[in-house]
Amino acid sequence: MRDRIYCHVVWTTRDRARLLDTGLATFLCRFLRSVAHQERAHILEIGMVATHVHVLIRLSPVTSIPRLMQRLKGASSVIARRERHSTTGQELQWSKGYSIQSVSPRSL
């Protein structure tokens, strides 16, 4: 049977700065999916605006949420800065923390 553990996760840029441009959005969509897969999770949907990210994710029972989030946020900002993915030249910085809520399969 397939695991049905779904969560909606939201995190913001530092000081809600309008940092997420098209270059960063393109990079983040690809990067976040790759990291989730490595952590035995699957991203179903990603939504972004200039100041924050929404992710609908299916977790494995063995997925460590703190480790997953550290990799999604921490690694993405480091690599985005190093590889200069921003089309406006701004450096990606995330605020501390995130919001996570469980989602029932019926609500999908």
pLDDT at 19 over 80: yes
pLDDT at 1 over 70: no
Lateral strand order in the sheet of 52-59: 41-49, 52-59, 5-12, 99-103
Q: How far apart are CA 55 and CA 72, in angstroms?
A: 11
pLDDT at 64 over 70: yes
Q: How far apart are CA 100 and CA 102, in angstroms?
A: 7
pLDDT at 61 over 80: yes
First CA to last CA distance, the chain: 18
Q: Identify the weakest region by mean pLDDT among 12-16, 82-86, 104-108.
A: 104-108
pLDDT at 3 over 80: no
pLDDT (average), residues 28-33: 96
